[in-house]
């Protein structure tokens, strides 16, 4: 075999191996990809100036939207009340709730100052995945963050985030259930809207 051909095969093989490594399929790689993207936006010095704050926010939001499945979030948070909603109500609810979760997430992320994210574990069970991460803060505390993902279509999407053992979806499920039981679904939507409007 000519030497050139062998080299070409080796190079081709390496290229495949590298590309396969680079675009990992697992939920952990997905979470890592999105987190890295957001950290890159947050630490981009060009985006730090106040006049570009909106652009910065928009770009983080895009990165989050790409990975988070707001419908799944809403479905799980409303739980038994989800089935009682009409298609229209569902369509209206998903972006509302999505915005609230996103804002919560943005609050946490906005004052990012070089915290490290460690990925400590990954589990996949059928179309469900769990990624365990640790955020090491600058005052050296470790915060456990678990992401729960679901494989939909051809990719993994986040449907719940658990911070120090407190699940976002569970927390909202209890609150939503309380509000709906005590007053009504309409009141819940109203309160959601008020909450979002209050500090925009």
Which of 166, 183, 184, 186 touches other proteins by CB under 8 A? 166
Q: Is the dihedral of CA 24, 27, 30, 36 positive or negative?
A: negative
The site map against other proteins for 100-139 (x = CB under 8 A) is xx-xx--xx--------------x-x-xx-x-------xx
Alpha helices in the chain (DSSP H): 3-22, 27-42, 53-67, 70-78, 80-83, 87-110, 168-182, 185-198
Phi, psi at 129, each rounded to 5°: -130, 150
> What are 119's strand-pairing partners?
133
The Cβ-side half-sphere exposure at 142, using a 13 Å CA radius, reads 8
Which of 39, 47, 79, 135 touches other proteins by CB under 8 A? 79
Which of 140, 153, 154, 197 touches other proteins by CB under 8 A? 140
Least Cβ distance, residue 96 to other proteins (angstroms): 11
Question: Which residue, 20 or 164, has its beta carbon nearer to other proteins?
Answer: 164
Phi-psi region of 143 (alpha: psi -120 to 50; beta: other; left: phi over 0): beta
C-alpha separations of 174 from 9, 82, 141 in Å = 58, 14, 28
Least Cβ distance, residue 147 to other proteins (angstroms): 11
Should residue 148 be labelled a site residue for other proteins when binding is judged by CB under 8 A? yes
Should residue 57 be labelled a site residue for other proteins when binding is judged by CB under 8 A? no
Size of interface with other proteins, in residues (CB under 8 A): 43
Should residue 96 be labelled a site residue for other proteins when binding is judged by CB under 8 A? no
Should residue 164 be labelled a site residue for other proteins when binding is judged by CB under 8 A? yes
Question: Which residue, 52 or 191, has its beta carbon nearer to other proteins?
Answer: 191
Whole-angstrom distance, CA of residue 196 vs CA of residue 100: 7
> What are 162's strand-pairing partners?
146, 167
Residues at the contact surface with other proteins, assessed by CB under 8 A: 75-76, 79-80, 83, 100-101, 103-104, 107-108, 123, 125, 127-128, 130, 138-140, 142, 146, 148, 150, 160, 164-167, 170-179, 188, 191-192, 195, 199
């Amino acid at each position: 075999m000519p030497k050139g051909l062998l080299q070409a095969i080796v190079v081709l093989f390496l290229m495949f191996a590298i590309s396969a490594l680079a675009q990992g399929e697992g939920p952990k790689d997905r979470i890592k990809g999105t987190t890295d993207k957001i950290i890159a936006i947050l630490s981009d010095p060009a985006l730090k100036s106040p006049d570009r704050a909106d652009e910065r926010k928009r770009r983080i939001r895009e990165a989050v939207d790409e990975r988070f499945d707001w419908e799944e979030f809403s479905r799980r948070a409303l739980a038994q009340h989800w089935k009682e909603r009409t298609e229209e109500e569902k369509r209206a609810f998903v972006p509302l709730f999505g915005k609230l979760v996103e804002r919560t997430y943005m609050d946490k992320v906005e004052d990012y100052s070089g915290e490290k994210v460690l990925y400590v574990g990954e589990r996949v069970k059928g179309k469900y995945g769990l990624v365990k991460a640790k955020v090491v803060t600058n005052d050296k505390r470790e915060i456990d963050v678990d992401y729960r993902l679901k494989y939909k279509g051809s990719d993994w999407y986040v449907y719940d985030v658990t911070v120090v053992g407190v699940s976002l979806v569970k927390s909202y499920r209890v609150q939503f259930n309380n509000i709906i039981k005590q007053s009504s679904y309409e009141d819940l939507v109203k309160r959601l809207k008020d909450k979002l409007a209050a500090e925009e």
